[in-house]
Structures are given as C-alpha cells and as structure tokens.
C-alpha cells in the first residue's frame, strides 16, 4: 500500500493526524505532513484506511502495490 495527500484538496481539518498519528503530523499551519507519496508499513494499514475514510476533502489517496 502507498499513500499520498493531494495538497490542492487538503484544507487542514486535522482528522488525519488525529486518527493516524503514525502516518501524519501537522505543519505549523495545521495542514498534514508529509504529503509526498510513500509506502505504508503493514502495521499502519488500518490507520491509513481510517484516515482516508475520514478526510472530509477526499485528499488522502491510497493505492495497493
């Protein structure tokens, strides 16, 4: 699984880093970081799916590899 965040869509609601603290953190303005596509460790796959489901802007994109 790989994950990335569409920076054009992200509005900084912060649900991702609350629900998936192993994958995201906030930048100084409350937007999630990191945004670059990267692999998800198997033990963090549930957090990744939770973050994707709960992002109100559909800014979190998951792909299977």
Chain contacts with ligand SF4 (rule: CB under 6 A): 5, 10-16, 31-32, 55, 57, 59-60
Residues with Cβ within 8 Å of 40's Cβ and at least 6 positions away in sequence, in order, are 1, 2, 3, 23, 48, 62
- Shorter beta-carbon distance to ligand SF4: residue 13 or 49: 13
Residues 31-52 as b or e (16 or more Cβ within 10 Å = b): bbeebeeeebeeebeebbbbbb
- Shorter beta-carbon distance to ligand SF4: residue 42 or 56: 56
* Residue 31 beta carbon to ligand SF4: minimum distance, rounded to whole angstroms: 6
* Residue 4 beta carbon to ligand SF4: minimum distance, rounded to whole angstroms: 10
């Amino acid at each position: 699984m790989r994950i990335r965040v569409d920076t054009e869509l992200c509005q900084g609601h912060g649900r991702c880093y609350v629900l998936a603290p192993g994958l995201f953190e906030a930048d100084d303005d409350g937007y999630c970081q990191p945004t670059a596509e990267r692999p998800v460790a198997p033990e963090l796959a549930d957090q990744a799916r939770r973050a994707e489901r709960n992002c109100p802007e559909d800014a979190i994109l998951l792909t299977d590899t």
